[in-house]
Chain A
């Protein structure tokens, strides 16, 4: 028995009032469980949409953007008038892409960079035609960056390497044209170039936008589709150390090149703002639930203090300081909070585990939720913090009890 007397009193209050303790803890349990669950849900969705983005987007993208015609001469003394502004871009190419790629790779914060040649592709079989996008890439490097390897359902990415007549297509294209591995497919471009290519691989990214339209060929094959020379490159993709910290790097890279440098956040602003809205909403809802739960502790502690006002008075008469009284009642809130929070975390974990086993159907698959230690820690700290606050205010009221007023009654 080595408890300090303050804790001893707190513990005795808790133990002799099991029902109230249980009710207060239950409130926190529900609050914490829902907070944890909703935030895990939100985080799961965010990760899911992020994974989707990074299937085809790198952290940073460098490309030539369209330019509008400008007045030939800016004259500060006269009104500059230009009629009919037009896009003046004649070619989408990045000039001397290898030098730029080399330079970009030199930057310490860049982990990986690849070049890509994009073209509009039409996949034909008989009279059926599907419009899609062709990507001329160095397949091994590309796969390193985008983990395409992971999504291959037939064939392999190695088979495309150096195979100028090979193509890897999405599962949706293969199904619609009823083609399989090793079959031939006629691909034509908007420049009128038509080629018969052999399917060396089929991928399934679980995203119909990709699976129904995307294909991969070698860079030189893509250049032929565009009737361009061997130095023609439309885009450079680069990955950085941390996807969330690209902002400064965009500016640095922009200073290296005249071409447009864009981070994935800008490219996918719509998805990200959707994520943010969802996170803010779920965060606000779950936080208010937790706040409401903390009122349980506040109420029960306030009631305890009103009931025990004589005890508080006598403790103060015997020499307990205001701080001691605060400690006693905050400890009580703390014990209730710990019990509630720990059980709440367990309930949250169970909810998450059950939810992660629910199959949502393609393209999502299983519910994108998992146990994230960071969120557990966050919920724990928040749960304790809120119960601490809920305990502190009634405790302060107790500390200010004037014993003389009580004894005179």
Chain B
């Protein structure tokens, strides 16, 4: 039985869009996420799931309510401080891989760690190799990022998200652009990260199979949480 340590929690999160008319996109969202949990956010398009993810990611700060990450209330903090939190504790995986095309895969993976700057260049390089190896990409390390296939690029971006060993990994449609084989690979990686490394994964998806296989699914509609499918505890006790 895993210890249910809360990694991220929200309290009555609300957000409005003002263009083209005032519109409540998140309504009273309160939930918690735990260490080692593989959480998926689902819902129809326009349900607010991506908006919620960007609020959780600290990149979007224009919301009401409260957001706690690793026991710290980050609501209302300065953007530079939030950038540090992201650098330390949050890894990002997007639908479009957003690798820097001029750099090699290895360098792309290294960038967040070099930014963090608490390891030497050689150590970071070593670590980046390890992450790429874990994702089966060691041979591609020195190729330019733009020369890889979509699935490979997505795995490089996962390696990049992992380089600083963040507690949280946030994904926006991580498999949206991938074929079923690569989707399976990415899914297995996430599963492994949450189970073996106790990292918390919060992924927005509209792939139902992907969501079903995760530890827990939160479904949103019109900015409200309408269901917590399959609770985390039960998945563990199975």
Contacts and interface: CB of A to CB of B under 8 A. Distances in A.
Interface in A290-332: 310-311, 313-324
A13 interface: yes
A82 B112 CA distance: 92
A320 B54 contact: no
A404 B59 contact: yes
Nearest to B55: A404
Nearest to A1: B121
A155 interface: no
Interface string B34-76: 0000000000000000100010010110000000000000000
Contacts of A408: 50, 54
Contact of A5 (B102, B114, B160): B114
A319 B98 contact: no
Contact of A319 (B54, B88, B100): B88
A16 B103 CA distance: 10
A197 B121 CA distance: 89
Interface string B89-118: 000101010101011000000011011110
Nearest to B89: A319
A353 interface: no
B80 A323 contact: yes
Contacts of B160: 318
B211 to A, nearest CB: 20
Contacts of B112: 318-319
Contact of B115 (A2, A13, A324, A404): A324
Nearest to B50: A408
A313 B87 CA distance: 14
Nearest to A323: B80
Contact of A316 (B83, B103, B116, B172): B83
Give the interface residue-count category, chain A: 20 to 34
Given A13-B102, A407-B94, A316 B59 contact: yes
A319 B79 CA distance: 10
B103 A12 contact: yes
B84 interface: yes
B86 interface: yes
Interface in B100-147: 100, 102-103, 111-112, 114-117, 121
A228 interface: no
Interface of B is mostly: helix
Nearest to A12: B102
B84 A404 contact: no
A372 interface: no
B50 A317 contact: no
B116 to A, nearest CB: 7
B102 A16 contact: yes
Given A317-B92, A403-B59, A322 B79 contact: yes
A8 B84 CA distance: 20
A233 B162 CA distance: 94
Contacts, number: 67
A2 B80 contact: no
Contact of A407 (B54, B79, B100): B54
Contacts of B87: 318-320
A186 to B, nearest CB: 88
A310 B87 CA distance: 18
A346 to B, nearest CB: 30
Nearest to A2: B121
A2 B111 CA distance: 14
A409 to B, nearest CB: 9
Contacts of B98: 310-311, 313-314
Contact of A317 (B86, B103, B116, B117): B86
Contacts of A310: 96, 98
A320 B115 contact: yes
B84 to A, nearest CB: 6
Nearest to A314: B98
B79 A321 contact: yes
A314 B59 CA distance: 11
A318 B111 contact: yes
Interface string A378-409: 00000000000000000000000011100110
A403 B98 CA distance: 12
Given A8-B114, A408-B50, A317 B59 contact: yes
Interface string B172-208: 1000000000000000000000000000000000000
Contacts of B79: 321-322
Contacts of A320: 83, 87, 115
A320 to B, nearest CB: 6
Nearest to B78: A321
B100 A311 contact: yes
Contacts of B114: 4-5, 8
A292 B131 CA distance: 48
Contacts of A1: 121
Nearest to B161: A318
A310 B160 CA distance: 16
Contacts of B57: 317
B115 A319 contact: yes
Top 10 A-B residue pairs of the complex, sorted by shortest distance between their CB atoms: A319-B87, A5-B114, A314-B98, A319-B86, A16-B102, A321-B83, A318-B112, A321-B80, A404-B54, A404-B60
Interface of B: 50, 54, 57, 59-60, 79-80, 83-88, 92, 94, 96, 98, 100, 102-103, 111-112, 114-117, 121, 160, 172
Interface of A: 1-2, 4-5, 8-9, 12-13, 16, 310-311, 313-324, 402-404, 407-408
Given A319-B115, A321-B79, A321-B83, 20 more contacts: A5-B111, A8-B114, A9-B100, A9-B111, A311-B100, A317-B59, A318-B92, A318-B160, A319-B83, A319-B88, A319-B112, A320-B87, A321-B80, A322-B79, A323-B80, A324-B115, A402-B59, A407-B94, A407-B172, A408-B54
